[in-house]
Amino acid sequence: MTTVSGLPTGGPQLVDLPAEDGELLQGLLYPPPARPKAALLHVHGKGGNCYSGPSRTLPPLVAPERFVHLALNLRCHDLGYSRLGDAAGIATGAEAASGGMWERLDDGPRDLRAGVAWLRERTGLPVFVVGHSAGGYFLGDWAPGPEVAGRVFLSPLTSVRFPLSAWFADDAALERARVQAQELVDRGEGHLLIPVPAWYFAISAASLLERLAERPDRWLDGCNASSSPLLLAWGGAETRVEAWRALYERMTVADRRCVELPGAGHEYGGAEAALAAEITRFVTDHR
């Protein structure tokens, strides 16, 4: 059995951890048990954060007496937040704001690697990653190796192009936005925002161009490129149920399982205990 030393005890505590590019990330570390069996990294969706949604509800429910839980804020947390000031990790100038509106596709896997490395270094335990929504997109896109003992996808986003039809009335409107975004990027102003009429109401020029250039099946190819065991879960009341069922059938990972939680929506309200039981079973089977 493993005893973790050097980790804080008591209630959840805010911890800082650096990403490989120097970005300072924050997360909530939940009280580790005396002799934990595994470590779980929880990551939210675009515009979410570590203190709401499944990242908030699951750590107290998924065998906290056996597992270490770290809920991490990706740099795409919330829609927009200021990064002005003199504290460590706070930048100025063009990078003075960040959040979901400025999300870049390569940042997600970079942040996940930082969380996994932090847990592995401090616990020596097998690490499982639980990714909700866009957090699940980044988890699939990363295609981790043996440093991740298992992957849990909660209602994962499977393409970053899905909002385009809600944002733009037709191909002509989309092309006008693309031209505008390209002009901004060419002028070195890719961080400037373009307003859109629905979630999440604005997007940076650079981020929009990345969405438009997304390779078909990018997420599925990433999922299949890793041999790490996976659990794919979704709510029965969500609009993308059939899409997840079809994608699961196209997965080639040998050790995989899926679960549909009847009546549950995207945040799993009312189904948290059932979801926690499935995750606990998956981690216990693979630690």
- Give, in degrees to the nearest 5, the angle at Cα 21 between 160 and 45: 30
B/e letters for 32-55, b = 16+ CB within 10 Å, e = fewer, are bbeebbbbbbbbbbbbbbbeebbb
Distance CA 85, CA 95 (A): 12
- Does residue 25 register a pLDDT over 60? yes
In a domain, 74, yes or no: yes
Higher pLDDT, 199 or 224: 224
Residue 31 pLDDT class (50, 70, 90 cuts): confident
Distance CA 117, CA 19 (A): 9
pLDDT at 179: 98
User: Do 257 and 149 share a structural domain?
Assistant: yes
- Does residue 82 register a pLDDT over 90? no
- Does residue 10 register a pLDDT over 80? no
Distance CA 246, CA 262 (A): 18
User: Do 173 and 266 share a structural domain?
Assistant: no
User: Do 141 and 34 share a structural domain?
Assistant: yes
pLDDT at 4: 59
Residue partners of 23: CB distance under 8 A and separation at least 6:
75, 89, 107, 110, 111
User: Do 151 and 55 share a structural domain?
Assistant: yes
pLDDT at 96: 72
In a domain, 5, yes or no: no
pLDDT at 11: 78
- Does residue 8 register a pLDDT over 90? no
In a domain, 113, yes or no: yes
Distance CA 179, CA 151 (A): 38
**pLDDT tens string 219-232:** 999 999 999 999 99
Residue 1 pLDDT class (50, 70, 90 cuts): very low
Residue partners of 243: CB distance under 8 A and separation at least 6:
158
Global model pTM greater than 0.85: yes
In a domain, 20, yes or no: yes
pLDDT at 2: 45
User: Do 235 and 272 share a structural domain?
Assistant: yes
pLDDT at 6: 58
User: Do 140 and 63 share a structural domain?
Assistant: yes
Number of domains forming the structure of the chain: 2
In a domain, 7, yes or no: no
Burial label, 86 (beta-carbon count in 10 A; 0-12, 13-18, 19+): exposed
- DSSP readout, the chain? -----S---SS-EEEEEE-TTSPEEEEEEPPPPSS-SEEEEEE--TT--TTSTHHHHSTTTS-TTTEEEEEE--TT-SS-EE--SSSTT---GGGSEESGGG--TTHHHHHHHHHHHHHHHHH-S-EEEEEETHHHHHHHHH---TT-SEEEEES----TTTTHHHH-SSHHHHHHHHHHHHHHHHTT-TTSEEE-SSTTSEEEHHHHHHHHTPPTTHHHHHHHH--S-EEEEEETTSTTHHHHHHHHHT---SSEEEEEETT--TT-TT-HHHHHHHHHHHHHHH-
In a domain, 99, yes or no: no
**pLDDT tens string 83-109:** 665 555 555 555 678 899 999 999 999
Residue 135 pLDDT class (50, 70, 90 cuts): very high
Percent of the residues in the chain that have a pLDDT greater than 90, as a whole number: 86
pLDDT at 176: 97
pLDDT at 5: 57
Distance CA 239, CA 58 (A): 23
pLDDT at 88: 53
What domain range is 40 assigned to?
A: 13-94+104-160+216-286
CATH number for the domain spanning 242: value is 3.40.50.1820
59 near 42, Cβ under 8 Å? yes
Average pLDDT of span 254-270: 98
Distance CA 177, CA 69 (A): 41
User: Do 138 and 76 share a structural domain?
Assistant: yes
